Structure 1
Amino acid sequence: MSRIQHTERPHHSIPSSQYVLPSDELERQRYATTVSACSYQRYYCRLQLQHEVIRGAFGGALLFPCVRLSSNDQVLDSGTGTGIWLLELAAQLPPTVRLHGVDIITRLFPSTYPSNIKFSVEDVTRLPSSWSNSFTLVHQRLLLAALRKVEWPMAIGEMYRVVSPGGWIQLCETGSWRAGPFTARFQSLMRTLLDSKGLFMDIYKAMPLVLRNAGFVDVRVEVIQLSLCGAEGSDDRKFVSYCYLIHYITYESFLSSITRNMCNVFRGMKTPILNVGGFGFVSSEAEFDALVNGVENEMENTASAQKEYFLFCARKPSL
């Protein structure tokens, strides 16, 4: 398939990575989402909003209920991005807890942070040998578009190695989403893109087995099914409470921001899709844009539109 002409966005050039989202300033700043409530507005960059979405889906919690941290523990955040999860966790813990965030690039690391947080460039499939049995908790989320299928067991194995005996691993990944024919078509296109790069769109289905094969026990899974077009059911009520109690915004405003965030992620896949000819799903930049716009419209206006989140927690056996 020949390349489709389009306004190209830069992606990072790390040879070992198949990450499909851009690495430009637009990804960091222009994907700003405005959430309005009464007389004020709150602004989120895409990654910040992504954090709020996940936290809101689980009722505002940063940690699985079974995870308990003590004053001298160490915590590792894999694929830390902006470090927002670590920064918020640090505010809830004594300063004697040491927090370490790692990612394959430094571009999104915060410029200021508490003295008990450290950021460094590391590959989760090859963490430093000196970190064995060091961390009470290893946290990671949303690397579906970054880790190849063959790398997931390697990454989970490395996490098992660096978690201290009796310590925990906590992961979050997205599941399926559904709204209508545009959404189904884009989901098929995204699967084709990820498959072409060896990435694993269905890791959420395989994760419990991958965790057990690595040696983890007490594997726990929580699934949140979130309506994208209105508050229905207990999962949504947790989100409603978080929106009002933490951000004082309407649930509907936050849902609109979630949809916009998701579709901006999809738009960020334009270059890797069009550079290989569209995989037979689209034949021009205009067709790609129309497809994503159709997805956004369906998610905002289809009563049955829904998105899944999966939270996994597992323990390394004590000695």
Structure 2
Amino acid sequence: MPGADGPYPLPSDAEEAARLETQYLLLKFCFDGQFTFAPVNLVDGDKVLDCGCGSGVSLHAFTRLRLKGLWTLDLARSFASSTGVSFTGIDINPSMFPTDIPPSVSFDVHSVLSLPSSWTSRFTLINQRFLIGGLTVFQWPVALRELYRVLKPGGWVQLMESSMGCEPEEDGVERTRAERLICALLTKRGCLVSDRFATIESMLSDAGFRDIRVVEKVYSDVQWTAEQREANRALFLSVMRGIEPAVLREGLESEEGYEQLMHETQRDKNLGMTGGIGKVIVFCAQKLDV
């Protein structure tokens, strides 16, 4: 959920939209096509929120990777329009919103830090993915309280976050120079770096959520095709190029030093094979009936 005044270090442009789409498709492949983890059964009249939804459909990514959809559109298309389930995607930047959408889907400009008052107890399922670079440590509790407020009693939230930019103890993976720089940038911008997963679980409980469940997935390219591996490598290189302005502004590297790092990264055939991600955690938590 990027913003000019927030910690999110990547741009909001067509290249970033393509990166997010490729990332989603690869993650979906790693999770064997699964994109809903909360034990929720959506029925007529239910409403679903995708928080920090980013972009829409990329035909290029579909053609290349032979997978379909981003989360909001994927879930919407898995339900017949006759079921009466509606889907809302929100982001603070509308530039990447899709235009060709089913009637049951809408996209709106909102921040997770301040959702509409009219949304209280509105949604049966809320999805949020990879906002670790978009929220500071101090903003996370605010965001989770807002998600709790707009969730219906008995509803579920699912949060997906990765070990990208974490300290090595989070997943036991040794960090490369490029990955250490990502960690330094997130730290400089006040993002949640240390004890990331335990902290999120604790904050969910503090916000009022119960029945917290954790799904862990090691992000591995073992079963990938050569084409998918190359797409993921390109994904990591795109991240590194995208964060360059933020790295330079924060004084973490010189222009010359950053170009040298990019050359090293491009020459390393193993670097970026998992897109800088060693582990992915999905937290599912419920707002109990009152």
Alpha-carbon shift at residue 296 of structure 1 (Å): 5.4
- Cα shift readout 1:143-201 (whole Å, capped 9, x = no counterpart): 111111100111011000000000000111111588997x4222221121111111113
Change (3 A) 1:65 1:145: closer
Which of these residues, 129, 134, 137, is aligned with residue 141 of structure 1? 129
Is the 1:180–1:298 contact (alpha carbons within 8 Å) kept by the matching residues of 2?
A: no
Q: Of the two, which has the highest radius of gyration?
A: 1
Shift of residue 254, structure 1, vs aligned partner: 1.7
Q: Normalized per residue, which structure has more strand?
A: 1
Identify the residue that residue 46 of structure 1 maps to in structure 2. 19
Say if 2:110 is the partner of 1:122.
yes
8 Å Cα contact 1:263/1:296 also seen in 2:
no
Aligned-residue offset at 1:118: 1.2
Q: Deviations 1:117-156 (Å, cap 9, x if unpaired)?
A: 1111101011011111000011000111111110011101
Give the alignment's TM-score, normalised by structure 1.
0.76
Partner residue in 2 for 1:260:
234
Instruction: Determine whether 1:184 maps to 2:158.
Output: no
Aligned counterpart for 1:22 among listed residues 11, 20, 25: 11
Partner of 1:313: 284
Q: Distance in 2 between matches of 1:315 and 1:180?
A: 31
- Looking at structure 2, the residues matched to 55 and 21 of structure 1 have their Cα atoms a distance apart, in angstroms, of 22
Shift of 1:114: 1.1
Which of structures 1 and 2 has the larger relative contact order (alpha carbons within 8 angstroms, sep 6+)? 1
1:295-314 equivalent positions in 2, closer than 5 A: 297-300=270-273, 307-314=278-285
CA distance in 1, matches of 2:88, 2:9: 25
Partner AA of 2:203 in structure 1: V
* Aligned partner of residue 161 in structure 1, secondary structure: helix
1:106 aligns with 2:99: no
Aligned with 2:186 (options 194, 206, 216): 194
- Measure the CA separation in 1 of the matches of 2:279 and 2:173: 15
Percent pairwise identity = 32
Question: Paired residues, what number?
Answer: 267
Aligned residue for 2:201?
Answer: 208
Q: Equivalents in 2 of 1:179, 1:158: separation in Å?
A: 33
Q: Which residue of 1 aligns with 2:73?
A: 87
Preserved contact between residue 38 and residue 158 of structure 2 (Cα < 8 Å): no
Indicate the SS of the match to 2:95: coil
What is the alpha-carbon distance in structure 2 between the residues aligned to residue 124 and residue 92 of structure 1?
A: 25
Describe the superposition over 1:226-262 as per-residue Cα deviations: whole angstroms up to 9, x where unpaired.
223x34xxxxxxxxxxxxxxxxxx5343233223212
Per-residue CA deviations over 1:18-58 (Å, capped at 9, x if unaligned) read 21001233333xxxxxxxxxxxxxxxx32221111221222
C-alpha change, 1:122 and 1:102, in structure 2 (3 Å) is: same
Kept in 2, the 8 Å contact 1:142–1:173? The answer is yes
Q: What secondary structure is seen at the aligned counterpart in 2 of 1:152?
A: helix
- Structure 1 counterpart of 2:15, which letter? L
Contact 2:233 2:271 in 1 (8 A): no
Residues 178 and 261, structure 2, Cα contact 8 Å, conserved in 1? no
The answer to whether the Cα contact below 8 Å between 2:185 and 2:252 also exists between their aligned partners in 1 is no
Q: CA RMSD in A?
A: 2.6
* Aligned mates of 2:264, 2:137 — CA distance in 1: 27
In structure 2, what residue type is equivalent to 1:97? V
| Equivalent-residue separation in structure 1 for 2:118 and 2:277 (angstroms) | 43
Gaps of 5+ in 1: 1-11, 29-44, 232-249
* Partner AA of 2:40 in structure 1: V
Instruction: Report what 2:41 is aligned to.
Output: 68
Counterpart residue number, 2:248 = 274
